[in-house]
Amino acid sequence: MAWIKRNLFFVISLVVALVLLAAAVVYDLQSLAHNSTAKGKLNEIYGSLQQIGGGKFLWGNAKINNIQTAKEQRAQIQEWINKTTDYFKPITAIPNSPDVSSEAFAAALRRTIDQLQREAGDASVELPPKYGFSFEAQRSTVKFASGSLPQLSVQLGEVKTISEILFAARVNSLDSVQRARISDDDTAGPQADYINDVSVTNDLAVLTPYAVTFRSFSGELSTVLDGFAASPNGFIVKGISVAPAGQAAQADAGPNGLPPVTAPPSAGRGGLPTVLNEKLLRVTLQIEIVKLSPRK
């Protein structure tokens, strides 16, 4: 007991370290179990496709009905496709109307930006001043480029969903959301609102690119990635760039730059030593949203 009293600060810091270590072990075990389950489902789907596509071809005869076999395999493939749609649900456009008017979109844009700013405040997520969430070019107008409103409505719904995943993770700040240019109005907007990539369409889906830049600690970054992975809306993180926020601010400071933030420094001689001293990170994610093409 006397030794504990003489070394009280050391004992307290040791207990804190053990608690953090235990929490890390629990988190790793949960992640391992989740990855194992996901791998099992993937192997099951892959095995089913191999069974469907890798069977030995047999010529039809009185005992072998190739037409019926083809119908059964088609049904199996369709069943598998139906299962995959649970992971690629479309994001609702804002406003959700096939014949959206300029007045309706302008009103919906104002409401959505106001809502996102409130949600950011509620989650203690810092935003650039009067941030327009990549719609600065459209924010102050009520007349939009011809034919652009359906695509702008889709992008507005997608930007809202992306932003809310970041807010749910309680990142420290959201620096920018960037989207592809889709109208003549976008050519006059702030360059920081856009990426140079464009949507790509193939026989199965449309791949729509976005980029988000935010600042957080590693725990919030992990929650962000989990949020995109768990989303039913078909998000794919194509790339990630991470740097200490302080270095990023010096190398790439803009009008919305934020000062670097770090954990408190270690206590002086005789004080409680710092167990964890993690620096704030500046993270940029390249994201694609997979939108399945309509079934024929």
Name the H helices within the chain: 2-6, 8-53, 66-84, 102-122, 136-139, 149-168, 218-230, 245-251
Residue type, 203: D
Q: Taking Cα atoms as reference points, which of 156, 255, 273, 168 lies closest to residue 216?
A: 168
Q: What is the pLDDT of residue 97?
A: 86
3-state secondary structure of 253: coil
pLDDT tens, N- to C-terminus, the chain (296 residues):
554 445 544 445 544 445 455 555 445 555 555 556 666 666 665 565 555 555 555 555 666 667 777 777 777 766 766 666 677 889 999 999 888 999 999 999 999 999 999 999 999 999 999 999 999 999 988 889 888 999 999 999 999 999 999 999 999 999 999 999 998 899 888 999 999 999 999 878 899 999 999 999 999 999 999 999 999 999 999 999 999 987 655 555 444 333 443 444 444 445 555 445 678 999 999 999 998 877 65
Handedness of CA 237, 208, 118, 214 (dihedral sign): positive
Rounded-to-integer distance, Cα 114 and Cα 64, Å: 65
Residue type, 188: A
Name the CATH topology of 89-260+277-292: Alpha-Beta Plaits (3.30.70)
Assessment of whether the complete model's pTM goes beyond 0.75: no
Q: What is the pLDDT of residue 16?
A: 46
Q: Taking Cα atoms as reference points, which of 66, 72, 82 lies closest to residue 52?
A: 72
